[in-house]
């Protein structure tokens, strides 16, 4: 793959966050690169993900998110739950010394590392192998599509730690599987296998691990075959469909189609 690191993110910043970031044409690939710790996540990683999202080139149409080594992500680096833990990195435990407003503002910053993956400019794909636990599950859910190895599993572990999922995972999970199933998954902290993930609707497909790259390539090819504007407009419509009444959604469809007609007309020979 021909790749370049673009924009204002430096190699040192990526290394500190334990991330790899590559752009190859219209596809950007972000890799959690801490395999010796099962790609455990940190506030530094979340802040750097947000920075990547803020400077992603306009020509990117697909963002692929994956994990190095044997697994996607084991979730939060638990050393950061202990005061002074994490080898001097920003610690989640340090939030306890702050006011409620300061805690909320800091978590809001962390959440920006997840929310940008829903931007209508591109389609985001999480490629999950091994397992996605806690923050790992929420990071996968932040993507538009999840491809998973058939032996992978997902777990919303926060309740077992006395916490709640706070990295934007609850909304996409409810939207994908419905309230009762989302409540059961989040409060029991049970493992959800790949086949069940596909059956209940939050994963797109489960394939043998050695077929993940081929399935990803097929999906990326299919997503980039239509005109970029058509995909972006369609994603915008689908993202808002659940919160709009029918008349509002019909109006938005008409307006989007008018923009598509104008773009297509501009491409016709004069």
Q: What is the pLDDT of residues 72-83, one digit of tens each?
A: 999 988 877 776
Question: Cα separations (Å) of 12 from 45, 49, 103, 266?
Answer: 13, 14, 28, 43
> Three-class SS of residue 124?
strand
Q: What is the pLDDT of residues 31-82, one digit of tens each?
A: 999 999 999 999 999 999 999 999 999 999 999 999 999 999 999 888 777 7
CB 146 within 8 A of CB 203: yes
CB 202 within 8 A of CB 173: yes
Strand-pairing partners, residue 62, are: 27, 123
Pairing of strands 62-67, 27-32: parallel
Look over the chain and give the mean of its residue pLDDT values, rounded to a whole number. Answer: 93
Q: What is the pLDDT of residues 71-124, one digit of tens each?
A: 999 998 887 777 665 556 777 777 878 899 999 999 999 999 999 999 999 999
Predicted pLDDT at 5: 45
CB 149 within 8 A of CB 81: no
Structure tokens at 115: 């929310």
Cβ neighbours for 138, distance < 8 A, ≥ 6 positions apart: 114, 156, 165, 167, 168, 169
Predicted pLDDT at 85: 56
> Three-class SS of residue 73?
strand
Predicted pLDDT at 87: 59
For residue 18, give the nearest of 63, 97, 77, 101 by alpha carbon.
77
3 conformational bin, left if phi > 0, alpha if psi -120 to 50, beta if neither: beta
- CA atoms of 55 and 52, how far apart (whole Å): 5
Q: What is the pLDDT of residues 191-224, one digit of tens each?
A: 999 999 999 999 999 999 999 999 999 999 999 9
């Amino acid at each position: 793959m021909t790749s370049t690191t673009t924009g204002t993110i430096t190699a040192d910043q990526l290394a500190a966050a334990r991330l790899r970031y590559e752009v190859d044409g219209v596809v950007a690939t972000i890799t959690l690169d801490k395999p010796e710790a099962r790609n455990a996540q940190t506030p530094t990683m979340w802040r750097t993900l947000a920075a990547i999202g803020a400077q992603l080139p306009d020509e990117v149409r697909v963002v692929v998110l994956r994990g190095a080594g044997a697994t996607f992500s084991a979730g939060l680096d638990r050393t950061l739950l202990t005061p002074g833990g994490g080898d001097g990195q920003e610690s989640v435990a340090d939030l306890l010394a702050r006011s409620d407003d300061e805690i909320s503002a800091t978590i809001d910053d962390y959440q920006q590392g997840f929310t940008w993956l829903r931007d209508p400019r591109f389609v985001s794909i999480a490629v999950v192998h091994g397992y996605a636990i806690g923050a790992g599950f929420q990071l996968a859910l932040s993507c538009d599509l999840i491809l998973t190895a058939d032996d992978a599993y997902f777990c919303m572990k926060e309740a077992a730690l006395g916490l709640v999922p706070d990295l934007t995972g609850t909304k996409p999970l409810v939207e994908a599987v419905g309230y009762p199933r989302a409540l059961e998954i989040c409060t029991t902290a049970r493992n959800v296998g790949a086949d069940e993930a596909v059956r209940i609707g939050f994963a797109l497909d489960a394939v043998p691990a050695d077929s993940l790259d081929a399935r990803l390539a097929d999906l990326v090819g299919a997503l980039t075959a239509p005109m970029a504007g058509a995909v972006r407009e369609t994603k915008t419509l689908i993202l808002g469909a659940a919160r709009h009444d029918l008349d509002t959604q019909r109006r938005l469809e008409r307006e989007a189609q008018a923009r598509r007609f104008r773009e297509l007309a501009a491409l016709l020979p004069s």
